[in-house]
Structure 1
Amino acid sequence: MAAGGRGLCRATGAPLCPSWRRAHGEARGGLKPAYDAVVIGAGHNGLVAAAYLQRLGVNTAVFERRHVIGGAAITEEIIPGFKFSRASYLLSLLRPQIYTDLELQRHGLRLHLRNPHSFTPMLEASAGSKVPRSLLLGTDMAENQNQIAQFSRKDAQAFPRYEEFMNRLAQAIDPLLDAAPVDVAAFQHGSLWQRFRALSTLKPLLKAGRILGARLPQYYEVLTAPITKVLDQWFESEPLKATLATDAVIGAMTSPRTPGSGYVLLHHVMGGLEGTQGAWGFVQGGMGALSDAIASSATSHGASIFTEKTVAKVQVSSEGRAQGVVLQDGTEVRSRVVLSSASPQATFLKLTPQEWLPKAFVERVSQLDTQSPVTKINVALDRLPDFLAAPNAPGGQPLPHHQCSIHLNCEDTLLLHQAFQDAMDGRPSRRPMIELCIPSSLDPTLAPPGCHVVSIFTQYTPYTLAGGKVWDEQERNAYADTVFDCIEAYAPGFKDSVVGRDILTPPDLERIFGLPGGNIFHCAMSLDQLYFARPVPLHSGYRCPLRGLYLCGSGAHPGGGVMGAAGRNAAHVVLRDLKSTRP
């Protein structure tokens, strides 16, 4: 939603390209009555699944309800002349195999790697005429240590060991991302042959154990303890701890003091781009360009992608097997298998006939934790923000800190916890956690000359407000004004530079992008909803109780983020099943 009010523009909702059909042409030959595979939803995971299936000879069609492909990885021209990555806005977690296998660079994907990558300015009123301090972190470890030493020499010495410790844990988790979880159901209920075949699913887990070795108890603590407890064991300076803690709560309705917040941090440090471990970057042309590259790879091998084709339900044969889908206009499309990149809730509670699903399974899906703290605000500016802690250059050109994730209200982990407590009371945070990115600092094609687009990822905002309030335009604007007041304190003049804004609260994220509760991961990335238990125990291997139906979105293992792993892994499971059932 775009906010109204003085000096603000309303969103047109127009996509970057007029539509998928006009930009790339409707699927060759039009809609056919039958395919080998049908994919529900053209989010990045659905597109990845379709690309892998089609490359390996499975004739695949993708149906997307919106006018634009990409799910949450889209580019839209919300304000005339300004092109936004409207939902997801950074890339790092995309699996390297996908980048290579789908030849995404050949299909137009261009990246702008960021270095440095994190900037945390301070509010130091007592500094007087002095420039307030800030923490700037990047790939240069010596410079990182110099930055940290402003706050603690002890922490500067400890930081390389901490990075090595976390990188080793990320290396251990890495093989788990590219394979289905251990097939517990096969071990419990399968035939002798199925149990033998399921042994292969143990390999990634055993490899992870070998990497962690004797330090497994310490790593176990990282995954299960509050991240504040973990960080307190390493560091003493609050600006460093709070900056690191933001990755432990990003997108999660948790406090840094919540047990298990360490895994969310790990989820955000395990990526890399173009061979650089831990690198994050902006996609040239916005995140929609990534989705376009994946789609181009899929269609180049013959996949069919349809927009504005809403799937109404999954078709089930009399033998209890998925056999296609019915579109909203009544069109029936047959297929041997159906993959859904929609959320587990949409897939199993809305699209699948309930009589074909076990009651206990439906209950577990309906009980999934989908709480979300996120409100995303997209902003058009007529000039760069000018931070007190890092004043702009005379010519107004972007400086290194402008390309970072800029963390505001993150000087102290207590601030993050207090912001969380506000949301637990049913109200938006009075001093929200803010991650601000300026992709046009590296990609000037996104905005008119001299202007910039800004992605503001904020939390905490509850889905349901206390006191009977609802997220109407007045409440949206009031919260956005709070966020802008906070930014103004760090960068005076910010509010005067605003050309327009687009405010997406949790209900807006749910309505527009199909994210349950506004949760960017489809369901929480808590330990009880990961690996064996994602989306629910005994159904974590992409297969579902209904034969021939597979889950391939962020609600499946290994979870959310623009990584594509769920789509790739699900496609391989489908391929194995199709081979075993081929006449």
Structure 2
Amino acid sequence: MSERYDAVIVGAGHNGLVCANYLARAGRKVLVLERRGIVGGAAVSEEIAPGYRASTASYLISLLLPDIERELELARHGYKVLPRNPSSFTPLPDGRSLLMGPDAELNRREIAKFSTRDAEAYPRYEAWLTRIAEALEPALEDIPPELLPLPAHVRRRGVFEQLRNLRRALRFHRALKKLGDDLPTALELLTGPATPILDRWFESDALKATLATDAIIGAMSPPSAAGTGYVLLHHVMGVAGGARGVWGYVEGGMGALSTALRRSAEAAGVSIRVDAPVAQIEAQGGRAVAVRLASGERIAAHAIISNATPAVTFLQLLDAAALPPAFRAAVTRIDYSSAVMKINLALSDLPDFRCMPGATVGPQHRGTIHISPTLEYIERAYEDARRGEPSRQPVIEMTLPTSVDTTLAPAGHHIAQLFVQYAPYRLADGSWDEHGEAFAERCIDAINDYAPNFRASVLHRQLLSPLELERRFALTGGNIFHGAMSLHQLFGFRPVPGWGDYRTPLAGLYLCGAGAHPGGGVSGAPGRNAARVLLQDL
């Protein structure tokens, strides 16, 4: 049997590395185990063809907590964010287009092409979102309070734990109080659909469709569905891109962030092993005591922290008898509905858009390119997915990181990253293994309609269907958030009601991944919070 650790972390995704780092800096002996041969989970940079590197899954940065960046000294370990300006480009079928970004004057001019009223309203809309985000951020980054009067058999809390929960509840109440007159609309944003909110603010469909993509990314919901307002807010919470809601590229791809986290963790004393898949979490006497690798090796620890999804953690790695039946049943009810596909392409040329021609890097290439011209287009794409069909007109967010980062491809060549919405995990007819390539062709055609040179420029492609996202990254259901970001699966309800504080019913077992509060995105918050809770318990 190998040596004993204070903590063993299952999975070297960014949250696992953040958690390990904070534990080691507090003097704990930590081991991180990763089943793949590379750290980072879904935040990795990998070669898709000789000389071409893409951010395989996660591809932009904004939500990473500034405190984590500073406290873990990530810049010293090679982490660098490249800002994008403009940050958004929406080509339209009628030959017009909409550019947006951190430049207020650019936004005013561009939006005014469609609506003078919207151009005047947009700064107020941004200020409104900013006020809500700034008021709620401390609560969203905190360990969530348990606000429900749960019976003792669901969760028994000691005196100190009850006091800590009360303090967190008071902090949450103070955050809500700060909203003042914004509270009613903030509650609507947190619980309601995005479409009526956008309709209230704006009249231009081009602007509303551009903004609505933030409400649906990673979700199996249309913008008209309840809960998409929160996803909209979630995507404007971060400032790592240089300004609130402005997403940036990590130089060298998202894997450079994970590499910086690894270097920082190892400098703090963390041991990291790759190609070390965990097959089982062992429990004895009502406590997690060890992990057993697929090789048969057993590693004991005072605490086991899982960066895997709740489904993998509780339903695959643990024996059913180790958990209370009611808790295990609640885990089986977690919604992993998702409908996303990632397609990475190596290009010989930049897309030359009809509405804004140019064969060299221009403002239309730097930001996220939206192929979703209207709200109705997005709703139709969702309806196809609801029936179990790949969208006939897919919603696509395309980024060209080589427009600002020359480290990813040979000189003059480029990387395109397509994040495609409404590719349902389960198809009504067949599977993605059969239909994936045809759908990728459909996506390329959709872009080619706006940039006629696009198809001819594609040299290589990497297709990650929802099934492949699950296989490669252990993302249950292909869900990039480790579970849908719906109201009944947020805050103290994540992963299930009563267990929002990163602890689990099995003593010594904790969650630190996106399946815990505050959810998905490369924020590091679940990892940091899990470390704080564990340090209280150790």
Q: TM-score, normalised by structure 2?
A: 0.97
> Which runs of 5 or more residues in structure 1 are unaligned?
1-30, 125-131, 579-583
Q: Give the drift of 1:92.
A: 0.4
1:470 aligns with 2:431: yes
> 1:267-321 CA distances to partner (integer Å, 9 max, x unpaired)?
101101276322311111111110010011000011000000011111222x211
**2:360 — aligned with what?**
397
> Which position in structure 1 is the counterpart of 2:412?
450
For structure 1, which segment, 204-213 or 512-521, has the greater mean C-alpha deviation from structure 2 after superposition? Answer: 204-213
Determine which of 151, 162, 167 is the counterpart of 1:200.
167
In structure 1, the partner of 2:127 is 164
Given candidates 13, 35, 38, the residue that maps to 1:65 is 35
2:343 corresponds to 1:373: no
Out of 391, 399, 402, the position equivalent to 1:429 is 391
Q: Partner residue of 2:326?
A: 360
Give the alignment partner of residue 289 of structure 2, picking from 289, 310, 323. Answer: 323
Give identity over the alignment, percent.
Answer: 50
The letter of the residue matching 1:43 is: G
Shift of 1:185: 7.5
Match of 1:81 in 2: 51
Q: Deviations over 1:53-106 (max 9, x none)?
A: 011101100000001110000010011110010000000000111001100000
Verify the 8 A CA contact 1:93 1:272 in the aligned structure 2: yes
CA distance in 2, matches of 1:140, 1:86: 30
Q: Alignment RMSD, CA only?
A: 1.4
Matched, 1:96 2:96: no
Question: Residue 195 of structure 1: CA displacement?
Answer: 2.3
Q: Secondary structure at the match of 1:445?
A: coil
Q: Supply the distance in 2 between the matched residues of 1:197 and 1:484 (Cα, whole angstroms).
A: 52
For residues 506 and 162 of structure 2, the distance between their equivalents in structure 1, rounded to whole angstroms, comes to: 21
Q: 1:257 aligns with which of 218, 224, 248?
A: 224
C-alpha separation between the residues in 1 aligned to 2:117 and 2:54? 41
- 3-state secondary structure, aligned to 1:419: helix
Counterpart residue number, 1:558: 518
Q: Say which SS state the counterpart of residue 466 (structure 1) adopts.
A: coil
| 1:150 matched to 2:80 | no
CA distance in structure 1 between the partners assigned to 2:510 and 2:205 by the alignment:
45
Aligned match of 1:3: none
Q: Secondary structure at the match of 1:509?
A: helix
> SS of the counterpart of 1:229?
helix
- 1:4-19 matches, within 5 Å, as none
Query: What residue number does 2:247 align with?
Result: 280
- Helix, strand or coil for the counterpart of 2:432? coil
The one-letter code matched in structure 2 to 1:39 is I
Among 401, 405, 416, which residue is 1:439 paired with? 401
Offset of 1:204 from its aligned partner?
Answer: 3.2
- 2:114 aligned partner, one-letter code: F
Q: 2:512 touches 2:527 (CA, 8 Å); kept in 1?
A: yes
Correspondence for 2:531: 571
Question: Distance between the aligned counterparts of 1:34 and 1:447, measured in 2?
Answer: 44
- How far 1:191 sits from its partner (Å)? 4.2
Kept in 1, the 8 Å contact 2:241–2:247? The answer is no
The equivalent residue for 2:178 is: 211
2-side partners of 1:286 and 1:195: how far apart?
43
User: Which residue of the partner structure matches residue 20 of structure 1?
Assistant: none
Paired with 2:158 and 2:455, the residues of 1 have a C-alpha distance of: 65
User: What letter matches 1:115 in structure 2?
Assistant: N
Matched, 1:387 2:350: no
Query: Whole-Å Cα distance in 2 between the matches of residues 487 and 538 of structure 1?
Result: 45
Q: Deviations over 1:526-575 (max 9, x none)?
A: 11100010010001110000000000001000000011100000001000
Letter in 2 for 1:55: R
| CA deviation string 1:391-420 (max 9, x = no partner) | 11xxx4311221100001x22100000000
Task: Note closer, same or farther for the CA distance 1:218–1:184 as it changes in structure 2 (3 Å cut).
Answer: closer
Counterpart secondary structure, 1:370: coil
Letter in 2 for 1:487: I
Residue 174, structure 1, aligned to residue 144, structure 2: no
State the AA in 2 paired with 1:190: R
